[in-house]
Amino acid sequence: MCLNNLVMTRQPKTVDDVGSLAFWLQHKDADWVTNSHGYTFSGLEIHGIKIRVTKHPDRNLELDLDTPFGGYHNIRVAIPCCDERGLFVVITWQRPEIKVYLNNVMSHAISF
């Protein structure tokens, strides 16, 4: 289980800053997106943002986000179609909003 290819646009100076992070969500099981198994992926913590990802047997993805500028947020969403690279996850923030993109499509906008 891995979170691969983490990219930070820049290191935020304060919680008022604008920024983003991106990573590929992948698993050694090639059919992880469509199978009926649950997976807990390794956690990720970058500049005060903690991300935990769980794939549930019902093929939904759960993202737990702890942020210094908006508290705790739980997102549960159906996993979109993925190719062999996995699921591309992007999280952006610009006060007063956090946006979550899955495979380049905005999934959630969270006001804080």
User: Please, are residues 3 and 25 in contact by the beta-carbon 8 Å criterion?
Assistant: yes
35-51 pLDDT, tens per residue?
A: 999 999 988 888 778 99
Taking the model in full, what pTM does it have? 0.83
User: Please, are residues 53 and 33 in contact by the beta-carbon 8 Å criterion?
Assistant: no
Mean model confidence pLDDT for the chain: 86
CA 90 vs CA 35, 47, 69: distances in Å:
23, 15, 17
User: Please, are residues 81 and 103 in contact by the beta-carbon 8 Å criterion?
Assistant: yes
Which stretches of 1-112 are DSSP H helices?
none
79-96 pLDDT, tens per residue?
A: 999 999 999 999 998 888
Confidence of residue 73 (pLDDT cuts 50, 70, 90): very high
Confidence of residue 12 (pLDDT cuts 50, 70, 90): very low
Q: What's the distance, CA 22 to chain centroid?
A: 8
Instruction: Give the per-residue pLDDT at 1.
Output: 44
